[in-house]
Amino acid sequence: MSYKFKKNIILLFFASFVFIVLVYLFCPMGPFRRGVILIYSIEPLSNDSEIDNKYERTILLLGDSILANENYVPKGKTVFDFLKRKIENENANERERTKVKMFARDNYLINDVNLQITSLPISYNSKQNSIVLSVGGNNFLTGTSYNTATKEYLFLIEKIKETFPDCKLYLVNLYRPFAIEFRVYNKIISDWNDFLKGIVENGNADGIVDISRVITEKDDLVYKIEPSVIGSEKIAGAIVDVVSG
């Protein structure tokens, strides 16, 4: 037997041995690998399950700076921050867990929210979830007529109900700013708040977050028109009272 042939036999034997070892260690049927596969197949499911079990409800905040006032108050003192803390306190005493998701943005108009709805995951559509909508004030500040605003708002409500029919929907009304230059809006604010009540009475929303009853002092606002730290906590409390009530 030639030296070259012997060398090939030895190489073939060594390659076969390595192949058998690799199959034994890494093949799904191997005894060691069986346990590893079990771990990796359960781990992602376990994480998803943890999230689902921990958070059974979601509050979605849509709209303008009445909810998204981070540009006007110190960090950690926004409506969202106070709402999240209040919800966490409730979570500590209840089996049901709730999370708060912020989608509202400063300076949003009614049609901005209408466009935003199309980008939200349809997975939010659940009887456990609530949508809190605050929009309209910026429309009046930028010159939108009352009739145009009501038409746009009704179209927005219709789109929300079509896209998230299972979610509860709560409408945030408008407060009256205290600065003299904003008194011109008092009548339209009153009419708007009555308009929102009518939407609820007609069964197209589940309730009103009546911030006009809690924003009653000058210290509740900063920059004449935005929720202050004090106002943020009051608005967060009003949301909790309605959504959790």
pLDDT tens digits, residue range 222-244? 999 999 999 999 999 999 999 98
Q: Is residue 114 predicted with pLDDT exceeding 70?
A: yes
Contact 160, 131 (CB under 8 A): yes
| Boundaries of every domain in the chain | 3-47, 57-243
- Please choose, from the candidates 150, 147, 188, 185, the residue with its C-alpha nearest in 3D space to the C-alpha of residue 171: 150
Is the pTM of the predicted complex or chain greater than 0.75?
Answer: yes
Q: What is the C-alpha end-to-end distance of the chain, expressed in Å?
A: 92
Count the alpha carbons within 13 Å of 25 in the hemisphere toward its beta carbon.
6
Average pLDDT over residues 167-180: 97
Q: Is residue 203 predicted with pLDDT exceeding 80?
A: yes
Identify the helix (H) or strand (E) that includes residue 242: helix 229-243
Q: Which residues contact 79 (CB under 8 A, 6 or more apart)?
A: 66, 67, 68, 69, 227, 232, 235, 236, 239
Q: Who wins on pLDDT, 77 or 93?
A: 77
pLDDT classification of 89: cutoffs 50, 70, 90: confident
Average pLDDT over residues 38-49: 29
Q: How far apart are the C-alpha atoms of 176 and 184, rounded to whole Å?
A: 10
Q: What is the reported pLDDT for 17?
A: 58
Q: What is the reported pLDDT for 56?
A: 83
Q: What is the reported pLDDT for 8?
A: 56
The alpha-helical segments, DSSP class H, found in 2-30 are 3-26
Q: What is the reported pLDDT for 9?
A: 55
Please state the φ and ψ torsions of residue 61, each to the nearest 5 degrees: -100, 120
Q: Is residue 207 predicted with pLDDT exceeding 80?
A: yes
Q: What is the reported pLDDT for 116?
A: 85
Percent residues over pLDDT 70 in the chain: 75
Q: Who wins on pLDDT, 27 or 82?
A: 82
- Please choose, from the candidates 81, 75, 88, 195, the residue with its C-alpha nearest in 3D space to the C-alpha of residue 135: 195
Q: How many other β-carbons are positioned within 10 Å of the β-carbon of residue 12?
A: 10
Q: Radius of gyration of the chain from Cα atoms?
A: 29
pLDDT in tens, 8-28: 555 556 566 555 545 444 444
Q: Is residue 157 predicted with pLDDT exceeding 90?
A: yes
- Please choose, from the candidates 91, 217, 222, 108, the residue with its C-alpha nearest in 3D space to the C-alpha of residue 172: 108
Across all residues in the chain, what is the average pLDDT?
83
Q: Is residue 206 predicted with pLDDT exceeding 90?
A: yes
- Please choose, from the candidates 240, 245, 229, the residue with its C-alpha nearest in 3D space to the C-alpha of residue 85: 240
pLDDT classification of 42: cutoffs 50, 70, 90: very low
- Please choose, from the candidates 138, 141, 165, the residue with its C-alpha nearest in 3D space to the C-alpha of residue 153: 138
Q: How far apart are the C-alpha atoms of 126 and 2, rounded to whole Å?
A: 77
Average pLDDT over residues 114-120: 87
Contact 154, 113 (CB under 8 A): no
CATH of region 57-243, choose from 3.30.565.10, 3.10.20.30, 3.40.50.1110, 3.30.43.10: 3.40.50.1110
